[in-house]
Amino acid sequence: MKLRYSPVSPFVRKVMITAIETGLADRIEHIPANVWAPDTDIGADNPVGKVPALITEGGEILYDSTVICEYLDSLHDGAKLFPATGGERWRALRLNALGDGMLETGIRRLLEYRLFGDSVRQSWVDRANTTLVRCFASLENEVDILDGPETIGRICIGCTLGWLDFRFDDLGWRDSCPGLADWYAGYSASPAMVQTVPKE
């Protein structure tokens, strides 16, 4: 398999951790893609122009991190990261959706500064910050659901918190979310998280 990737993408990190947790990491070749380069070829593998994209051993191309992660989860016989049925499945998918939404909000905030610089639209930044604060509070209020077996939800929340720490030093989320901070301190020390720390 071949993975089109960027080393700082939290969505790529989600796939890489899934590959480690499912025992498939050694079967994946990493092919870098700079999606912002004028001559980038990522569109050939993902018409949306984003990473990650996975070329399977059969030559099929998959994109969107959640789709790729579920595909990888289908290739092994161990405990599933995507629970098959019931409340566990919906909790895992809901956490994954929350993490993805936080990342999309954070990425828009980051691009606001990169695109507009000194002319940044503060109203948009404030809106993004309000959304993130609300999401942090939601996680803090039900932090116990992050305990237990590994799932795609836990992986996504771990990648989300790691990326927000990597990109922003002004969020101060630990002050108001001590339970979430404690959980992340332990989770971020896991081997898969340590192996996939984002680097510029």
- Beta carbons within 8 Å of 30's beta carbon, 6+ residues apart: 2, 3, 5
On whether both 92 and 189 belong to a single domain, the answer is yes
* Residue 78 lies inside a defined structural domain of this protein: no
Average pLDDT over residues 7-22: 97
Position 188 scores a pLDDT of 98
On whether both 16 and 98 belong to a single domain, the answer is no
Q: Are 50 and 23 a contacting pair, CB within 8 Å?
A: no
Average pLDDT over residues 90-105: 98
Q: Is the pTM higher than 0.85?
A: yes
Domain boundary among 73, 101, 119: 73
pLDDT digits (tens, 9 = 90+) for 41-64: 999 999 999 999 999 999 999 999
Domain boundary among 19, 50, 73: 73
- Inform me whether the pLDDT recorded for 33 exceeds 80: yes
Domain range holding 91? 86-195
Position 8 scores a pLDDT of 95
What percent of the chain has a predicted confidence (pLDDT) above 70? 98
On whether both 60 and 102 belong to a single domain, the answer is no
Average pLDDT over residues 69-81: 97
On whether both 16 and 92 belong to a single domain, the answer is no
Query: Confidence band (pLDDT; 50, 70, 90) for 124?
Result: confident
* Residue 10 lies inside a defined structural domain of this protein: yes
- Inform me whether the pLDDT recorded for 141 exceeds 80: yes
On whether both 105 and 190 belong to a single domain, the answer is yes
Question: How high does pLDDT run on average in the chain?
Answer: 95
- CATH code of residue 59: 3.40.30.10
Position 133 scores a pLDDT of 97
- Beta carbons within 8 Å of 138's beta carbon, 6+ residues apart: 98
